[in-house]
Amino acid sequence: NLSLLRALLAVAICFMTMSRPISILLLPTTDLTADPESVSHCVTVTRQHVKTDHGIDRNQPGRFPLSFPRRFAGLATALHNFTAARAAAYPAATHFFELPGERFTENTNFGDALGRMLGTALTTVSLQPPAGRVYTARSLRSGGASAAEMVPLPRSKIEFLGGWAVDSKRLSQHYISRATPPTFAGRFFFDWLILPLADNMALDFPS
């Protein structure tokens, strides 16, 4: 099911890059690449959209490509398979996560779109938020930052990965929750930023 695979992949990419929905859902087809055999560039994401005081600017410099190592080979394989299936079903797609009948523009409500994908992904893996809470698209950006903080990842690396300003008060006050417990999943997604490359090649995420 292409829609289901899209939901799972979009949620994973937004979480591991701590990105805003627009930064991932408006990625051109060429700006998210996967090579399951690569040691250091297994998954590469080139985000174009930067939030400024005047809104979203896709031309502002400073957003560098993010390359993820060999431990993400399983994700790279899934991305590779999705790319092939989407190209066959929708050769006219201009954005990586577009499916037949869709056309993403900068006027698309990306928060709602990613929120629906998140709901699909959570249902698929039989996960629900704690009682009295709701997961939204923003939860992926906040959850990624919180999980990385608990690794613990240096704050400078969280700021770089998620595109926050140096010494960002907004990151500290509105995104990182210190109630988030340290988990193996958090280490899997983020401790590659502080480990030697050789250690990243051996770690497998448990099923």
Residue with the bigger pLDDT between 201 and 1: it is 1
pLDDT at 203: 44
pLDDT at 204: 43
> Do the beta carbons of residue 177 and residue 135 sit within 8 Å?
no
- Supply angle C-alpha 82, 205, 195, rounded to 5: 110
Residues 125-155 pLDDT 10s: 999 888 888 999 999 999 999 999 999 999 9
Arithmetic mean of pLDDT, 99-107: 93
Arithmetic mean of pLDDT, 54-79: 76
Euclidean distance between CA atoms 29 and 96, whole angstroms = 4
Average per-residue pLDDT for the chain: 88
pLDDT at 93: 97
Residues 151-203 pLDDT 10s: 999 999 999 888 888 899 999 999 999 889 999 999 999 999 988 755 555 44
pLDDT at 195: 80
